[in-house]
Amino acid sequence: MLRRSQAFKTYHLAHDEQIISWSPALRQNDVFEGIAVLTDRRFVYYRSGLLTEAIEPWPLSKINSIEARKGLLWYSLKLFTGNDVLSLTSNEKVACERVARHLQIAVGMINDGLYDDLDDGFEDDDEADAGAGDLVELLHKLDDLKKKGILTEEEFAQKKAEILARI
């Protein structure tokens, strides 16, 4: 599995793109297991077989909803866009649950208007047009995500520090 993640980082990750989390995953009807990768721009299902390689990128701004379910042996994750559904399963429940949680946060931030277009990456920390009032509103929204259990205390503290550094 590390070989696949290294291959993805080496050949398919843009130089300014960052991986947020990843998990082993299997797409419905696939023979070979791949990896589900969440970056700051997109969600990617990547797999490589004996002679083939497949990469399916999904820009975060195009994902309408996410369905995540824990089973006895498997964790399933479905992503929905206007036209497509990507169904993945993983026996690595903790890793897949982490990817799902981070994906829900990113898509939620887009839907809440916290980021205009993640296809171009997250907003820069030193973005000049962000006023103090906007940043305070952002802090309130992050606090709501923490209270709902979507963000962990550590994730909240990290984002809060980044926001306060802008003021």
For the segment 1-52, what is each residue's pLDDT rounded down to a tens digit? 556 677 777 878 888 888 888 888 988 777 678 899 998 889 999 987 777 7
How many domains are contained in the chain? Answer: 2
Q: Do 24 and 87 belong to one domain?
A: yes
Q: Do 91 and 127 belong to one domain?
A: no
Average pLDDT over residues 75-103: 89
- The label of the residue with tokens 């550094």 reads 165
Q: Do 67 and 101 belong to one domain?
A: yes
CA angle centred on 145, ends 120 and 45, rounded to 5°: 45
Neighbours of 147 (CB within 10 A): 10
What is the pLDDT confidence band of residue 135, given thresholds at 50, 70 and 90? low
The parent domain of residue 150 ranges over 123-166
Q: Is residue 117 part of a domain?
A: no
pLDDT for the residue numbered 18: 86
What is the pLDDT confidence band of residue 122, given thresholds at 50, 70 and 90? very low
On whether the CB atoms of residues 112 and 97 are closer than 8 A, the answer is: no
Q: Do 7 and 66 belong to one domain?
A: yes
Torsion angle of C-alpha atoms 141, 143, 149, 151, degrees rounded to 10: 80
pLDDT for the residue numbered 129: 41
Q: Do 100 and 133 belong to one domain?
A: no
pLDDT of 95 over the 70 cut: yes
Tokens linked to 81: 């866009």
